[in-house]
Amino acid sequence: MNLFDLTGKVAIVTGSSRGIGRAIAEALADQGASVVISSRKAEACEEAAAAINAKHGEGKAIVVTANISSKEDLQNLADETRRRLGRIDVLVCNAASNPYYGPMAGITDDQFRKILDNNVIANHWLIQMVAPEMIERQEGSIIIVSSIGGLTASTLIGAYNISKAADFQLARNLAAEFGPAGVRVNCIAPGLVRTDFARALWENPETLKAVTQHTPMRRIGEPHEIAGAAVFLASPASTFMTGQTIVVDGGSTIGVGL
211 and 154 Cβ atoms separated by less than 8 Å: no
Distance CA 21, CA 19 (A): 6
Flag whether 256 is in a domain. no
Catalytic residue among 64, 73, 126, 160: 160
CATH number of the domain to which 203 belongs: 3.40.50.720
Flag whether 4 is in a domain. no
Flag whether 152 is in a domain. yes
pLDDT (tens place) for every residue of the chain, 258 residues total: 799 999 999 999 999 999 999 999 999 999 999 999 999 999 999 999 999 999 999 999 999 999 999 999 999 999 999 999 999 999 999 999 999 999 999 999 999 999 999 999 999 999 999 999 999 999 999 999 999 999 999 998 999 999 999 999 999 999 999 999 999 999 999 998 988 777 777 677 888 787 788 889 989 899 999 999 999 999 999 999 999 999 999 999 997 755
Flag whether 58 is in a domain. yes
Q: What is the pLDDT of residue 257?
A: 57
Indicate the number of domains in the chain. 1
Flag whether 78 is in a domain. yes
Range of the domain at 34: 10-249
Flag whether 3 is in a domain. no
pTM for the model stands at: 0.95
Flag whether 242 is in a domain. yes
Rounded to 5 degrees, φ, ψ at 135 are: -60, -40
Flag whether 5 is in a domain. no
CA angle 146, 99, 110 (to 5 degrees): 105
CA–CA distance from 154 to each of 112, 211, 215 (Å)?
15, 12, 16
Tell me if residue 160 is catalytic. yes
